[in-house]
Amino acid sequence: MAASNDEYTACLKRLYRLRRFGIKLGLDVIGGLLAHLGNPHHHYHCIHVAGTNGKGSVAADLATLLTTAGYRTGLYTSPHLVRFNERIAVDGRPIEDREVTAAYDAVRAAPMQEREPTFFEFATAMALYTFRRRKVQWAVVETGMGGRLDATNIIRPQVSIITNISLEHRAYLGATLAAIAGEKAGIIKDRVPVVTGVTQPSAMAAIRKSAEARQAPLLRLGTDFRIRRRPDGRFDYAGLRHRWQRLALSLSGPHQCTNAALALAACEAIEPLAPHVVDAEVVRRALQSTRWPGRLEIVRRHPTVILDGAHNLAAARNLGRYLAGQDQGRPITLVVGILDDKPFRPMLRALLPYCHRVICTRPRIDRALPAEQLADEARAQGAAVMIRPTVAEAVKTAIAMAAHEEIVCVAGSLYVVGEAKEILDTPSDMV
Burial of 252 (0-12, 13-18, 19+ CB in 10 A): middle
Query: Which region holds residue 310: left if phi is over 0, alpha if psi is between -120 and 50, else beta?
Result: left
- Considering only CA atoms, which of 371, 329, 334 is closest in space to residue 350? 334
Q: Into how many domains does the chain fold?
A: 2
Q: How far apart are CA 272 and CA 257, in angstroms?
A: 25
Q: Which domain holds residue 392?
A: 297-429
Q: Is residue 241 included in any domain, yes or no?
A: yes
Do 92 and 172 fall into the same domain? yes
Do 117 and 254 fall into the same domain? yes
Q: Is residue 292 included in any domain, yes or no?
A: no
**Residue-wise pLDDT tens digits, 162-219:** 998 877 655 556 678 888 999 999 999 999 999 999 999 999 999 999 999 999 999 9
Do 173 and 278 fall into the same domain? yes
Last residue of a domain, one of 224, 258, 287: 287
Q: Which residues contact 326 (CB under 8 A, 6 or more apart)?
A: 332, 354, 407
With beta carbons less than 8 A apart as the criterion, state whether 288 and 265 touch: no
Do 144 and 277 fall into the same domain? yes
Q: How far apart are CA 249 and CA 258, in angstroms?
A: 11
Q: Is the dihedral of CA 16, 21, 156, 57 positive or negative?
A: positive
Q: Is residue 243 included in any domain, yes or no?
A: yes
Do 319 and 234 fall into the same domain? no
Q: Is residue 45 included in any domain, yes or no?
A: yes
Res 430 pLDDT > 70:
no
pLDDT at 145: 80
Q: How far apart are CA 130 and CA 7, in angstroms?
A: 18
**427: three-class secondary structure by DSSP:** helix
Q: How far apart are CA 5 and CA 98, in angstroms?
A: 9
pLDDT at 427: 57
* Angle, CA 186 vertex, CA 314 and CA 38 arms, to 5°: 115
Provide the edge-to-edge strand list for the sheet that holds 235-238: 226-229, 235-238, 243-247
With beta carbons less than 8 A apart as the criterion, state whether 53 and 175 touch: no
pLDDT at 156: 97
Q: What integer best gives the mean pLDDT of the chain?
A: 93
Q: How far apart are CA 232 and CA 235, in angstroms?
A: 9
Do 63 and 136 fall into the same domain? yes
> In Å, what is the CA distance from 339 to each residue of 123, 324, 348?
22, 24, 13
**Residue-wise pLDDT tens digits, 56-72:** 999 999 999 999 999 99
CATH number, domain at 391?
3.90.190.20
Res 356 pLDDT > 70:
yes
Q: Mean of the pLDDT values across residues 414-424?
A: 95
Q: Is this structure's pTM higher than 0.75?
A: yes
Q: How far apart are CA 55 and CA 161, in angstroms?
A: 8
> In Å, what is the CA distance from 413 to each residue of 26, 297, 333, 353, 385?
26, 14, 16, 19, 18
Do 280 and 325 fall into the same domain? no
pLDDT at 170: 55
Q: Is residue 208 included in any domain, yes or no?
A: yes
Last residue of a domain, one of 287, 321, 341: 287
Do 85 and 230 fall into the same domain? yes
Do 257 and 337 fall into the same domain? no
Last residue of a domain, one of 269, 287, 305: 287
Q: What is the dihedral of CA 107, 108, 114, 118, to 10 degrees?
A: 80
Do 121 and 202 fall into the same domain? yes
Q: Is residue 87 included in any domain, yes or no?
A: yes
Q: How far apart are CA 259 and CA 367, in angstroms?
A: 29
Do 277 and 303 fall into the same domain? no
- Identify the band that residue 402 occupies on the pLDDT scale cut at 50, 70 and 90: very high
Q: Mean of the pLDDT values across residues 344-373?
A: 96
Q: Is residue 167 included in any domain, yes or no?
A: yes
Do 33 and 142 fall into the same domain? yes
CATH number, domain at 97?
3.40.1190.10
